[in-house]
Chain A
Amino acid sequence: MLVLNRKEGESVRVGDDITIKVVGIEGGQVKLGIEAPKHIGIHRQEIYVAIEKENAEAANVSENLLNLLKNTKKD
């Protein structure tokens, strides 16, 4: 892992078109401003991991469980 020191207002360039700027530092929190092309997904890591985990859990369905849906009646 590359570790860099940056002050408030300074930036890091990643590749050709991604810039990450330290917008502010306050009370143990760093505020980052990220400029990147639209197609680059930017997410808080723990949220992305939560979605991965939920998808994995949702994919882990047995055929028996699926039968529950076929027996569910709608309004």
Chain B
Amino acid sequence: MKVETKYFGTVEVDAEELISFPHGLPGFESFHSFVLLPVDELGTYFALQAVDEAGLSLIVTNPYIFYKDYAFDIDEQELSLEKPNDVAVYNVVTLKDPFEKSTLNLQAPIVMNVRERIAKQVILNDANYQTKHPLTQSNKGGESHARP
């Protein structure tokens, strides 16, 4: 099927690649079908593109590249998760210019069941995680080695 995208024009997507968000995303509750499109060659960033709205695309990334100790509890039942391999986690990047000001939303991870292709943006009740964590940690001290 053809999907009109915000950043890549019209792309061809297999129906199996679609990701279902039964509840949509906070602020975008009426969009339930998305696809992940790679942005950079290294596969660090993806565009989470709404299938029915070309203008809706969020940049997401694997949070563990940046915050290796990131941890939270998952409700296995809700996403029908059976084994650890079923789970993929992506967090929304808020891009800024200059790039150093970009942030990562650790308070609301997108948890996906890669087997069933269903996902949800979970809202954590953990004071350690907020909506704007630095994406580059150059200002931090020696404790963080996730990224220079």
Contacts of A66 in B (CB 8 A): 7, 39, 47, 59, 95
A17 touches B (CB below 8 Å): no
Task: Kindly count the residue-residue contacts between A and B in the assembled complex, taking CB atoms under 8 Å apart.
Answer: 89
Residue from B7, B27, B147 having most chain A Cβ neighbours under 10 A = B27
Nearest-Cβ distance from residue A20 to partner chain B, whole angstroms: 18
How far is the CB of B79 from the nearest CB of chain A, in Å? 11
Q: What size tier do the contact residues of chain B reach? A: 35 or more
- A54-B39 in contact (CB<8A): no
A interface, how many residues as a size bin?
20 to 34
Contact A52-B95, Cβ < 8 Å, known A38-B77, A75-B147: no
Q: Which residues of B contact A38 (CB under 8 A)?
A: 75, 77-78
Given contact pairs A51-B105, A65-B97, A59 touches B58 in the complex (Cβ within 8 A)? yes
- Asked if A16 CB lies within 8 Å of chain B CBs, one says no
Within 8 Å CB of A64, what residues of B? 97
A51 to chain B, nearest CB (A): 4
Can you sample 13 A-B contacts with CB below 8 Å? Answer: A47-B125, A53-B27, A54-B105, A54-B107, A55-B27, A55-B58, A55-B105, A59-B57, A64-B97, A65-B96, A66-B39, A69-B44, A69-B45
Given contacts A59-B58, A61-B95, 16 further A-B contacts (CB under 8 A): A38-B75, A48-B123, A51-B105, A51-B108, A51-B121, A52-B27, A54-B131, A54-B132, A55-B25, A55-B26, A58-B105, A61-B57, A65-B95, A65-B96, A68-B99, A69-B44
